[in-house]
Amino acid sequence: MNIVLFGPPGAGKGTQAKYLVKKINGFQISTGDMLRNEIYKNSEVGKEISNDMKDGNFVSDKIVNKLIKEIIFDPQKKGRLIFDGYPRSLSQAKDLDIFLNDSGQKIDFIFFLNVNKETIIKRIEKRKNLENRSDDDLNTILKRYDTYMETTKPVLEYYSENPNFHEIDGALEIDEITNKIDAFLGV
């Protein structure tokens, strides 16, 4: 089964994605991690995206799509994809449908982890201390939240019509969210 985890930065997508990787023996597609890895490697792509990442702006669809296509079209990973942080815009949501269709797949579950700005700010500040992520200063957090709200509203509308769409309160404790996901998956 392919799963999309959807929700603002700090909603807990990464934590639940890691849980799901173990549960379904899946592959996490975290575009944020993949992009940070390009910067870490100091690749051409990394050099191109470092300012956008630092400022909390979205990286271009062209770059993001190239990275995710390699995984979607990998036959070893087919049907076990866990999307974390992608899609983030309506164009990416539509591109994802095309990539999945072209590779003979579909989205089986979309989980929207809904969480308010205050909770996110508290969580990201905590994570900043734990992981020392350079894009996690408060201004960047707020910018990322606002960018998210602006560009993902159409994605939310697009997905909320999908019968596989489920909204979960992202302010719940990690275990509670996991239990809700499990209940929807039925496994």
Q: Minimum Å distance from CB 186 to ligand AMP?
A: 28
Q: Say whether residue 58 binds ligand AMP (CB under 6 A).
A: yes
Cα distance between the two ends of the chain: 11
Contact 125, 72 (CB under 8 A): no
The dihedral of CA 92, 94, 99, 104: what is its sign? positive
Question: In sequence order, what are the residues at sequence separation of 6 or more whose Cβ sits closer than 8 angstroms to the Cβ of residue 138?
Answer: 121, 125
User: Which one of 7, 12, 56, 170 is in contact with ligand AMP (CB under 6 A)?
Assistant: 56
**Candidate segments 20-28, 37-45, 73-81, 85-93, binder of ligand AMP by CB under 6 A:** 85-93
Nearer to ligand AMP, 56 or 170 (CB): 56
Cα 182 from chain centre = 19
| 123: contact with ligand AMP by CB under 6 A | no
Q: Is 53 in the site for ligand AMP (CB under 6 A)?
A: yes
Region near ligand AMP per CB under 6 A, out of 20-28, 81-89, 99-107, 159-167: 81-89
At its nearest, how many Å lie between ligand AMP and the CB of residue 55?
Answer: 8
DSSP letters for 70-121:
HHHT-GGGTT-EEEES---SHHHHHHHHHHHHHTT----EEEEEE--HHHHH
Q: Which residues bind to ligand AMP, rule: CB under 6 A? A: 9, 31-32, 35, 52-53, 56-59, 64, 85-86, 88, 92, 144
